[in-house]
Amino acid sequence: MTTPHFAMVDLPFEGELRWGTRTAAALRDESTADPAGGVRVFYGAASRDIEEPTRQDLAAGAYTLLQMPSFKRHVHVFARASSSRKHYWLLWEGKNQLREVEHAQLAQTFTAIHAFQGTSKTSFRKALIEVSPTRAGTDPTPFLDQLIKRLNVLVVGGTSISHVVHLPATLVIGRASDPQDDAGVQSFRESLLELDWPDSQAVGRQLGSTGSGAESRVSRERTAGTLFGVWAGRTRGGHRHPSFQFLPSGSVNPRLPELLDALARQPGLTPAVDKTGWERAFWLYQPRGRLSAQALALRAAAPAQVRADPARFAALDTAARTPAEVFASDPQAVIDLARDDAAALVPPDASPDASAEVAVAHG
């Protein structure tokens, strides 16, 4: 029986970019990651040799993944979390779907990835991403930006790789000449606008106002933090208002101000910093494993209940869900998640204005 190999792009925060193949057993050995920290992306089954066209495709896939706002946010939160965790695993399942994978689940996850044979662009439907920050508390953004610039030379600039490379052999990619626009952010923004959220006039009528008073009321509600909207641009209806915040009656969920307050504790998610609302929208529409049906049920259950009927809990759906998806049925779970994210980013002894100070420092 042939041992399956997985195609890998190794992107250390410091040093050279590398291509190669690994077995599942070797991939689960976290000690093989670069001690200086970095990102490794593992794709589906691969032959022992990775030729140039495939390397180009692998680089293009990694280039896209690193620019996803959900990936950046995962890394940003993890880097400020517990220093006892040296590695963080994320499973990409297409589009903007990212979810955390525990180390104990890696074997099963690699099996799922291997089912997607090949490493051409058309087979990039799953990938496993390993992140190993240099140290807890270090802002990973500059490192990620530098990786994106270096990958840009290969993906956009067409840099050629003239020979097959196996780890631990290394391949050096030059610098990008100019920073690139974050295409991943723009793509995700467009996908959210396609949900056709109501504009200010529609929301005003929905809340019982008419005529010019409808838009004025909605503007006041947004400013007061009792309604949430994003700026879509004048040609696309001005402000748009995500549907998750509305009850079936059309009124606003009374827990929304509490959620917006919790989000405002995070760097970059205050109304003063996130003037267009898009950073908060990205947070609200990113799948989170902690919000799966199984995770919420286990969180709410007493240990004795789980021990008494483990099969019932095991049968619950483990698919990650977005905060926007869960807010209507379990607003407290979403509010708790926002508060916990903030706690991971802002020291517990920080002043009330700490999140704003951090946001300015990172700006």
How many angstroms separate the CA atoms of 17 and 38, rounded?
A: 10
DSSP-derived 3-state class of residue 54: helix
Helix runs in the chain, H state only: 24-28, 52-67, 69-79, 106-114, 141-155, 183-193, 200-206, 212-224, 256-263, 278-284, 293-300, 303-308, 310-314, 323-326, 331-345, 354-362
Residues linked to residue 11 through DSSP beta bridges, in sequence order: 39
Q: How many CA atoms lie within 13 A of 258 on its CB side?
A: 11
Which residues neighbour 83 within 8 Å (Cβ) at sequence distance 6 or greater? 135, 136, 137
How many angstroms separate the CA atoms of 189 and 233, rounded?
A: 12
DSSP state of 102: -
CA distances from 336 to 67, 253, 303, 313 (A): 27, 16, 20, 22
How many angstroms separate the CA atoms of 189 and 69, rounded?
A: 10
On the 0-12 / 13-18 / 19+ scale of CB atoms within 10 A, 235 is exposed
Nearest partner of 278 among 149, 181, 191, 179, judged by Cα: 191
Instruction: Compute the average pLDDT of residues 237-250.
Output: 92
Identify the residue with better confidence: 223 or 299: 223
| pLDDT tens-digit series, residues 318-359 | 787 889 999 999 999 999 989 987 876 654 444 444 443 333
Q: How many CB atoms lie within 10 A of CB 245?
A: 23
| pLDDT tens-digit series, residues 102-120 | 766 666 676 666 544 444 4
Mean pLDDT of the chain: 72
Residues linked to residue 199 through DSSP beta bridges, in sequence order: 240
Is 98 within 8 Å of 91 (Cβ atoms)?
yes
- The pLDDT score that the predictor gives to residue 160 is 39
Global pTM? 0.51
How many angstroms separate the CA atoms of 358 and 278, rounded?
A: 19
Q: What is the dihedral of CA 279, 281, 286, 288, to 10 degrees?
A: 90
- The pLDDT score that the predictor gives to residue 174 is 25
Instruction: Compute the average pLDDT of residues 26-49.
Output: 64
Q: How many CB atoms lie within 10 A of CB 230?
A: 21
